[in-house]
Amino acid sequence: MIIHVRLRPGHDDDIAEWYEPQADKAAAVRDAIRAYMRSQNGEGQDAVVRAAVIQAMSELPNLVTGAVRDALASYQFAPRQAERAPGDEDPELAARLDAQLDDFFGD
Amino acid sequence: MNTGIDTTVLAIDLGYGFSKAATNRGRVLIPSMVGPAEVVRFESDVIAENGHGIALEVDGRRFFVGEQAELQSASASQTLDVTRTGSAEQKALFYAVASELVKTTDKTVAIVTGLPVLDFDDRHKTSMREMLSGEHVIERTGKRKRSFTVDRVYIIPQAMGSLFALVLDRRGKLVDGDLAGGRVGIVDVGTLTTNFVLVDRLRYVETGSDSITTGMGELLQKVAKDLKREHELDWGLHLGRVDRAVRKRAVEVRGAPVNISGIVDPHLEALADTVISRARTLWGAAADLRAVIVTGGGSLELVPYIRRAYTHTRTVGDDPQFANVTGYLRAGLRRFG
């Protein structure tokens, strides 16, 4: 079913202003009609707000996951250093020392 | 590389003042005094009177070494000669320390030793290797004959030994990451030479390293001259006695103790000025160095003066004479132990 609605200049400018930026215009209109229907069926303003919040909350995990993914897309994590037990040699310094001894000892 | 359990690692530091050596079984220090034994008329009596006299044979010539040679004064010489690397006198010092530490059952020996920075070149290394390498038979009066083969000789810049002594444990394991992880300057005050070595995270930096032919020997000779002039003590050929007097700041003259601080301190200050001046040329204010390590036999006397110039001066413990040889041994044990 296709419903045509005419917005009258000077009377429905507020609707036009709300409608224009909607990304999914059909879904936005459907949601608006359902909200109106619920209010007409006796649900109060609180119930409308609650339904809107529940809807928004259900989308929150995807929203957060997407935002975090975008933020970390270019972040370079340093490889985690292997933890050394007390008394263990620093592997980098030990390698430098052995290289120096190789130079001195020459074989 | 590991030379195997049959090889003994012998660390030696044949200094101009004292010769030091160590294995993982013990260590020895003798004055670097060598005298030809043939000029001593009553050799057997001297040895008998002094139980720790060292008389031995090197390439067909007999020598007194250490305290025994010092007692023979006129015929003995402290080999204050920069060209002596590989000489018979130096070999006599090697035999003297080896006869104390190499066991009669030891057959194969790996030697780790050092050269002053100025002599750390192919010519001196070759002379040192030729003198130490190969088969040795040590015949020392009063001791059983020792026969062993030196199959490896490893040579490092002298002062590096002191750093190794600080950062390695007795098995050669790296234990001081703080000092090992920084730039460090080492001042090694010896008898004839003072070595300056720059190390950057355990790597030797040749451009920041140098030697000067100044050390405690020069100071001892000046003090000996003053002792002769002021107190008629003729110790010019007995630098070991002068050294002990300098450490105690006292001598005995005609049975009475005499304080000699007034003689010693000005000479110490002059020596310290020379050493600090060279260090400043090499390292400036040493602000980028984690520490300035002062080591060597003369270091205990000079540390207070050097600390005035470099507040981050560190010492190597109460026995700085042994610091280099201790480090040679630990480096050797890391590689071959």
**Residue B143: pLDDT over 50:** yes
CB contact under 8 A, A100 and B203: yes
B137–A contact, CB cutoff 8 A: no
- How do beta strands B194-200 and B203-212 pair? antiparallel
**Residue B2: pLDDT over 60:** no
Range with the lowest mean pLDDT among A49-53, B137-141, B304-308? Answer: A49-53
Range with the lowest mean pLDDT among A37-41, B125-129, B196-200, B293-297? Answer: A37-41
Report the gap between the CA of A89 and the closest CA in chain B (Å). 6
- pLDDT tens digits, B87-135: 888 899 999 999 999 988 888 999 999 999 998 999 999 999 999 999 9
Q: What is the mean pLDDT of residues B261-271?
A: 96
pLDDT at site B70? 64
Q: Chain-wide mean pLDDT for chain B?
A: 87
B1, B177, B331 ranked by CB distance to A107: nearest:
B1
- Percentage of residues in chain B with pLDDT exceeding 70? 88
**Residue B24: pLDDT over 60:** yes
Q: What is the mean pLDDT of residues B20-30?
A: 93
Report the gap between the CA of A58 and the closest CA in chain B (Å). 53
B115–A contact, CB cutoff 8 A: no
Mark out the alpha helices in A73-106 (DSSP H runs): 91-105
Instruction: From chain B, pick out residues whose CB is under 8 angstroms from the CB of A106.
Output: 154
ipTM above 0.95, yes or no: no
pLDDT at site B42? 47
- Percentage of residues in chain A with pLDDT exceeding 70? 82
**Residue A69: pLDDT over 90:** no
- On whether the CB atoms of residues A3 and A30 are closer than 8 A, the answer is no
Report the gap between the CA of A83 and the closest CA in chain B (Å). 15
Beta bridge partners of B64: B35, B55
Range with the lowest mean pLDDT among A9-13, A55-59, B157-161, B201-205? Answer: A55-59
Q: What is the mean pLDDT of residues B274-280?
A: 97
**What is the C-alpha to C-alpha distance for residues A96 and A84, in angstroms, rounded to an integer?**
18
pLDDT at site B65? 85
CA distances from B198 to A52, B267, B299, B302, B331 (A): 72, 27, 17, 19, 18
**Residue B82: pLDDT over 50:** no
**Residue B71: pLDDT over 70:** no
- pLDDT tens digits, B217-250: 999 999 999 999 999 999 887 777 898 999 999 9
A87, A94, A96 ranked by CB distance to B203: nearest:
A96
pLDDT at site B142? 81
pLDDT at site B57? 84
Q: What is the mean pLDDT of residues A81-93?
A: 77
**What is the C-alpha to C-alpha distance for residues B229 and B234, in angstroms, rounded to an integer?**
9
**What is the C-alpha to C-alpha distance for residues B236 and B227, in angstroms, rounded to an integer?**
9
**Residue B153: pLDDT over 90:** yes
Q: What is the mean pLDDT of residues B15-32?
A: 90
Range with the lowest mean pLDDT among A11-25, B37-51, B118-132? Answer: B37-51
**Residue B74: pLDDT over 70:** no
Instruction: From chain A, pick out residues whose CB is under 8 angstroms from the CB of B151.
Output: none
Q: What is the mean pLDDT of residues B136-148?
A: 88
Which range in A1-5, B4-8, B44-48, B260-264 is most confidently predicted, on average pLDDT? Answer: B260-264
pLDDT at site A30? 87
Higher pLDDT, B188 or A74: B188
Which token pair is B162?
């002191």
pTM for this predicted structure: 0.75
**CB-based burial, B139-165: b 16+ in 10 Å, e otherwise:** bbbeeeebebebebbbbbbbbbbbbbb
For testing the chain B interface, which of A93, A105, A107 should be mutated: the one with the most B CBs within 10 Å? Answer: A105
Instruction: From chain B, pick out residues whose CB is under 8 angstroms from the CB of A85.
Output: none
**Residue B83: pLDDT over 50:** no
Instruction: Tally Cβ neighbours within 10 Å of residue A34.
Output: 12
pLDDT at site B174? 95
pLDDT at site A42? 67
Beta bridge partners of B112: B11, B154
**Residue B254: pLDDT over 80:** yes
